[in-house]
Amino acid sequence: MLWGIDLKGGMELRPWASCLARLATTPAEAATLLRDAVRVLEARARALGDDNERLWVPGPQAPALVVVIDEYAELVEHAPGAVEHADSIARRGRAVAVTLLAATQRPTQQAMGNGAVRSQMDVRICLRVRERRDVDLILGQGMLAAGWHGHTLDAPGKFLVSAEGHGTPRRARAYLVTDDDVRATAARYATHRPTLDPRSTDAITNPVQPTAATHAEPVNEPDPDLILWNALRQAPEHGHSVPDLMHLTGMGRTWIYDRLQSHAEAGRAHQVTRGRWRATE
């Protein structure tokens, strides 16, 4: 099942509308759609827990949900409150078959919003970029030095893909998809659009309401990204050490350094002294 977000008035995704179960074209609609996607995610997670299972296996009666966001930078700029939901989907959606597909023409730290969203994207496609530094921003730190030269792609449709099984930089090229191709493809698959499973549908129409017991004993695990950010904001003048942050978040050293790098690139945090960090004033 496909849901779409296109904050450019729907000009890019509307031709695909017959294949989309939902299409959001305003910031308010985008926030609602992403909130509902999180509700689906959480309902499926509860179902797996009840059944003592770990993975949601997609099928005709329980399809995967893919949320396509065209020009993610527009979402960050015009619907910043929705980015939190996008982050949640990126972090928790894989096991329950709720996937985020985000595209942007502006691969900047600001355009991608929360660095945690980008860090959770396991499949990354890089078309030609103007700046060498954009390669590391899109594909990950150190990728430019490793030979992933997205700035040298020299023809329309050429790209690099970084994903499991694609660990060596190798150029590929996509087909040219014309407007006529889009119309024909959308018409061909319009009748094959699946419907959500009853449990997911019910989560949207009848969301779980918090209770006193829920507030006293939260079901969801603490968010390590939020814990890290609060720790950086509340750090003493000499900052927190990486071991301190590992202890507070329960996360490993590599995860901590990845998040610190994202915060530093965005100007939100800095290294006070060697190995000690705090939020930027």
Number of folded domains that form the chain: 2
Measured CA to CA, the distance from residue 76 to residue 211 in angstroms comes to 31
- Of the pLDDT bands very low, low, confident and very high (cuts 50, 70, 90), residue 46 is very high
pLDDT tens-digit profile of 170-193?
899 999 999 999 999 999 999 888
Other beta carbons within 10 angstroms of residue 94's beta carbon come to 15
Counting Cβ atoms within 10 Å, is residue 127 exposed (0-12), middle (13-18) or buried (19+)?
middle
Residue 8 phi, psi dihedral angles, 5° rounding:
-100, 40
Task: With respect to residue 58, please indicate whether it lies within any of the assigned structural domains.
Answer: yes
- Of the pLDDT bands very low, low, confident and very high (cuts 50, 70, 90), residue 96 is very high
Task: With respect to residue 143, please indicate whether it lies within any of the assigned structural domains.
Answer: no
In the chain, the amino acid numbered 33 is L
Whether 263 has a pLDDT exceeding 90, the answer reads no
Average pLDDT, the chain: 85
Task: With respect to residue 9, please indicate whether it lies within any of the assigned structural domains.
Answer: yes
Angle in degrees, CA 41, 138, 129, rounded to 5: 135
Nearest to 93, CA basis, from 61, 137, 139, 48: 48
Task: With respect to residue 144, please indicate whether it lies within any of the assigned structural domains.
Answer: no
Pair (229, 91) in one structural domain: no
Pair (171, 232) in one structural domain: no
Task: With respect to residue 177, please indicate whether it lies within any of the assigned structural domains.
Answer: yes
Measured CA to CA, the distance from residue 171 to residue 81 in angstroms comes to 37
Pair (25, 107) in one structural domain: yes
Pair (49, 188) in one structural domain: yes
**Which of 192, 213, 238 represents a domain boundary (last residue)?**
192
Instruction: Give the three-class secondary structure for 23.
Output: strand
Pair (172, 269) in one structural domain: no
Task: With respect to residue 140, please indicate whether it lies within any of the assigned structural domains.
Answer: no
Counting Cβ atoms within 10 Å, is residue 238 exposed (0-12), middle (13-18) or buried (19+)?
exposed
Pair (274, 182) in one structural domain: no
Whether the predicted model's global pTM rises above the 0.75 cut:
no
Measured CA to CA, the distance from residue 146 to residue 203 in angstroms comes to 44
**Tell me, what's the pLDDT at 113?**
54
245 contact partners, CB below 8 Å, separation of at least 6:
228, 231, 256, 260, 277
Mean predicted confidence (pLDDT) in 97-111: 82
Pair (16, 117) in one structural domain: yes
Pair (117, 50) in one structural domain: yes
DSSP output for 96-114: GTEEEEE--S--STTTT-S
Pair (267, 172) in one structural domain: no
Pair (59, 177) in one structural domain: yes
Whether 78 has a pLDDT exceeding 60, the answer reads yes
Give the containing element (helix H, strand E) for 46.
helix 27-50
Task: With respect to residue 20, please indicate whether it lies within any of the assigned structural domains.
Answer: yes
CATH number of the domain where residue 184 is located = 3.40.50.300
Pair (188, 258) in one structural domain: no
Residue 1 and residue 63 in contact, taking contact as beta carbons nearer than 8 Å: yes
- Of the pLDDT bands very low, low, confident and very high (cuts 50, 70, 90), residue 64 is very high
E-state strands within the chain:
2-6, 22-24, 65-70, 98-102, 124-126, 158-162, 172-173, 240-241, 269-273, 276-279
Pair (47, 173) in one structural domain: yes
CATH number of the domain where residue 256 is located = 1.10.10.10
What is the span of the domain harbouring residue 9?
2-123+163-192
**Tell me, what's the pLDDT at 273?**
87
Higher pLDDT, 165 or 232: 232
